[in-house]
Amino acid sequence: MATGTEPHLKSGQDSGGVRAATRAAISAAHLRTDRWWLAPAATAAGLFAFIVYSTWRAFANADYYAAPYVSPFYSPCLAENCEPMRSGPNWEIFGSWWGLSPALLILIFPLGFRLTCYYYRKAYYRGFWASPPACAVAEPHKKYSGETRFPLILQNIHRYFFYAAVPVAGILTYDTVLSFRDEHYEWGHMGLGTLVFLVNIVLIWAYTLSCHSCRHIVGGKLKHFSKHPVRYRMWQWVGKLNARHMLLAWASLVSVALADFYVYLIASGVFDDPRLF
């Protein structure tokens, strides 16, 4: 007669969870026999590596420009202390009082976009916070309020970071166009770096447009697709990309780091950009 059954609520200090008194008495926190820890461990390792690398590069304030390439970490460059890039994306919005790396000014936006992204949230909730570490594996925390309270309620602003991520991707596209110049700013040339930038910008756009907020904005919010055929098509298209959001999140993360690293190698003179034509 379980339709009338109320949930078995217990006083707060009880350990709750799978070992609660009303649940089947099993002492193990989980009984999974597969390598469930592999995915969160790999995720955590991957994210950690990126954080270390990007922190170093963002604070370095050096080796981010080698004509015609500008590191995506430093574009657009918004401070007076930026290296001059001819017809490149540097606008001196922040005056000489800004003494830190100009990367910090702009990285806020892609960082915020990725930090509030529905995929990355899953990745770091599982990988860093073990909430949960894997499905049906008990999490170590006593209390859980999810995204109902500050600060995690701020995850709801994801779409504004999406709005911000679009112009940033636009500027990176502009950088990619500029990379069809040579080191003397002559047009009609292409180096290995151009190729790296091309791959990166395609992945950045694919990741940005496959965003769940984007899917909602272009059509998901509609009640009647049939009355908005164009938006419906866009929603379907974004939906196809969205199904690969995780893949794109990782691919673009790697590609943006590689693009930066490539610029670093050229700028620090490790080797010269091989010319394709």
What is the bridge-based pairing of β-strands 65-66 and 77-79?
A: unpaired
For residue 273, give the DSSP letter: P
- 148 part of the interface to another protein, by CB under 8 A: yes
C-alpha 212/C-alpha 258 separation (Å) is: 25
- 234 part of the interface to another protein, by CB under 8 A: no
C-alpha 107/C-alpha 220 separation (Å) is: 29
Q: Shortest gap between Cβ of 48 and another protein (angstroms)?
A: 19
Residues 6 or more apart whose CB falls under 8 angstroms from that of 194 comprise: 176, 179, 180, 276
C-alpha 167/C-alpha 223 separation (Å) is: 29
What is the bridge-based pairing of β-strands 65-66 and 69-70?
A: antiparallel
- 42 part of the interface to another protein, by CB under 8 A: no
- 231 part of the interface to another protein, by CB under 8 A: no
- 41 part of the interface to another protein, by CB under 8 A: no
Q: Which is nearer to another protein, 135 or 270 (CB)?
A: 135
- 139 part of the interface to another protein, by CB under 8 A: yes
- 135 part of the interface to another protein, by CB under 8 A: yes
Q: Which amino acid is at 23?
A: R
Q: Which is nearer to another protein, 29 or 190 (CB)?
A: 29
Q: Record the tokens describing residue 38, joined without a space.
A: 């592999």
Q: Record the tokens describing residue 180, joined without a space.
A: 């069809």
Q: Which is nearer to another protein, 152 or 254 (CB)?
A: 152
- Cβ pair 216, 159 in contact under 8 A: yes
Contact residue for another protein among 166, 170, 180, 220 (CB under 8 A) = 220
# residues near another protein by CB under 8 A: 65
- 30 part of the interface to another protein, by CB under 8 A: yes
The contact set with another protein (CB under 8 A) reads 1-10, 12, 14, 16-18, 20-26, 30-34, 118, 121-122, 125-126, 131-132, 135-139, 141, 143-148, 152-153, 156-159, 212-213, 215-216, 220-221, 223-226, 232, 242-243
